[in-house]
Amino acid sequence: MRARNGDKAITLLFNVTPALFDDYREPIRDALRDRKIEACVGLLGEIAPADVDYIIHATGGPITDFAPFSNAGAVLSLWAGVEKIVGNTTLTQPLCRMVDDGLRQGMVEWVVGHTLRAHLGTDRYVCQKPLTWEQHVPPLAADRSVTVLGLGELGSAAATALAQLGFRVTGWSRSAREVPGVRCLAGMESLPQALASAEILVGLLPQTPETIDLLNAERLALLPKASFIINAGRGTLIDDDALIAALDSGQVAHATLDVFRTEPVPPGHPFWSHPGLTISPHIAAATRVSTAAEKIAENIARAESGQPLLHVVDRTLSY
Ligand code: NAP
């Protein structure tokens, strides 16, 4: 990693939508505090590409060819998921994704909320009017098995919170992980075991070639009968048709999805009308400007002082 003269002004280029430029320009400038900022531009054409020191990136920005930014020390993503940019062959600069306390806490709250909703059978009473006076007493959390697919920044935080509530939590990841209170499994060979104990299945995996359609008909059949699915990782994790079939057969009791193959979900898509589905519009965990600006500034400060960047995406793994 290059170390630069701390007195030299830094040139930032925002490869984001105009709205995000407005949201982030001042908070990032403020977070950089005593650094001299030479330019903080949002539009290509205001600056020579070779003069750009760092590119702040989010899907929807105008730049798709990163080759001219030959002196850029890093491309810093405002989002945690990088599947739309990681395969860009013009991007040879280090690519860092967003890992941020606001994002993590938001996801923990969303996952815990929907897990409790499934566990307690809340929909049965909320949605049924008039109510049939039938008492379906839920088990205690200690008698409910939850599996979290993905034990990264978000998955391990969600698994920890669920374990602290008393759920029997299994976590599954690519490489071996240790999360206190969580039974951790790793690798494809243990996926059937992870699915078999998933009365409630939480998806927090990134989109990579390995995770696309991971939950196909064959794997959905490995879940306990009438299980619940909660997916906030990426929509490509689940084969849409297989999910509809599993809901129709009762193999899956209900699915709560925050992420989809196409967003927004197109009009007429069967997900809109299926009674076994809850759809939320990719709001499980948002990047929060105040905390994210600090993270961007922290990585720039690290690069400027020759320290390794944080949260660098491994291009060979796509996440
Ligand atoms: P992360 O820290 O990179 O963790 C990813 C986890 O997935 C790791 O545990 C990783 O295994 C595991 N994994 C990856 N490929 C795998 C495979 N082939 N088999 C098994 N496990 C695999 O990511 P994160 O910060 O937790 O975020 C996860 C995803 O959430 C993001 O990529 C993004 O798509 C999504 N997200 C959604 C929202 C929303 O609002 N819905 C918000 C933020 C993020 P290892 O531990 O072995 O590396």
Counting residues of the chain whose pLDDT is more than 70, the rounded percentage is 97
- Same domain, yes or no, for 185 and 161? yes
More confident residue, 2 or 183: 183
Helix pair 289-304, 101-120: axis angle to 10 deg: 140
Counting residues of the chain whose pLDDT is more than 90, the rounded percentage is 88
- Same domain, yes or no, for 43 and 138? no
Q: Which of 266, 264, 269, 270 is nearest to 247 (CA)?
A: 270
Q: Is the CB of 73 under 6 A from ligand 1?
A: no
Is residue 90, in this structure, part of any structural domain at all? yes
168 alpha carbon, distance to own chain's centre: 23
CATH code of the domain containing 93: 3.40.50.720
CA distance 192 to 169: 15
- Same domain, yes or no, for 75 and 114? no
Model pTM score: 0.95
Is residue 172, in this structure, part of any structural domain at all? yes
Is residue 18, in this structure, part of any structural domain at all? yes
pLDDT confidence of residue 38: 79
Instruction: State the residue range of the domain holding 272.
Output: 101-279
- Same domain, yes or no, for 224 and 158? yes
Cα 36 to averaged position of ligand 1 atoms, centre (Å): 35
Q: Is the CB of 150 under 6 A from ligand 1?
A: yes
- Same domain, yes or no, for 186 and 47? no
Q: Which of 238, 225, 174 is nearest to 196 (CA)?
A: 225
Helices marked H in the chain: 18-31, 101-120, 122-127, 153-164, 191-196, 217-220, 240-249, 270-273, 289-304
Is the pLDDT reported for residue 171 higher than 60? yes
pLDDT confidence of residue 1: 43
- Same domain, yes or no, for 74 and 199? no
Is residue 213, in this structure, part of any structural domain at all? yes
Residue nearest to atom 27 of ligand 1 (CA): 154
Q: Is the CB of 80 under 6 A from ligand 1?
A: yes
| Neighbouring C-beta atoms of residue 262, cutoff 10 Å | 9
Residue nearest to atom 18 of ligand 1 (CA): 210
- Same domain, yes or no, for 36 and 124? no
Q: Give one DSSP letter per residue of 161-209, joined into a string.
A: HHHHTT-EEEEEESS----TTEEEEESGGGHHHHHHT-SEEEE-PPP-T
- Same domain, yes or no, for 163 and 113? yes
Is residue 5, in this structure, part of any structural domain at all? no
Q: What is the mean pLDDT of the chain?
A: 94
Total domains in the chain come to 2
Q: Is the CB of 256 under 6 A from ligand 1?
A: no
- Residue whose CB lies within 8 A of the most ligand 1 atoms, among 86, 100, 204, for a mutation test: 204
- Same domain, yes or no, for 273 and 146? yes
Cα 156 to averaged position of ligand 1 atoms, centre (Å): 10
| Burial environment of residue 29 by CB neighbours within 10 A (0 to 12, 13 to 18, 19 or more) | middle
Is the pLDDT reported for residue 2 higher than 70? no
Just list the catalytic residues: 234, 282
- Same domain, yes or no, for 237 and 126? yes
Question: Structure tokens of 178?
Answer: 């240790």
- Same domain, yes or no, for 94 and 114? no
- Same domain, yes or no, for 15 and 79? yes
Is residue 319, in this structure, part of any structural domain at all? no
Q: Is the CB of 171 under 6 A from ligand 1?
A: no
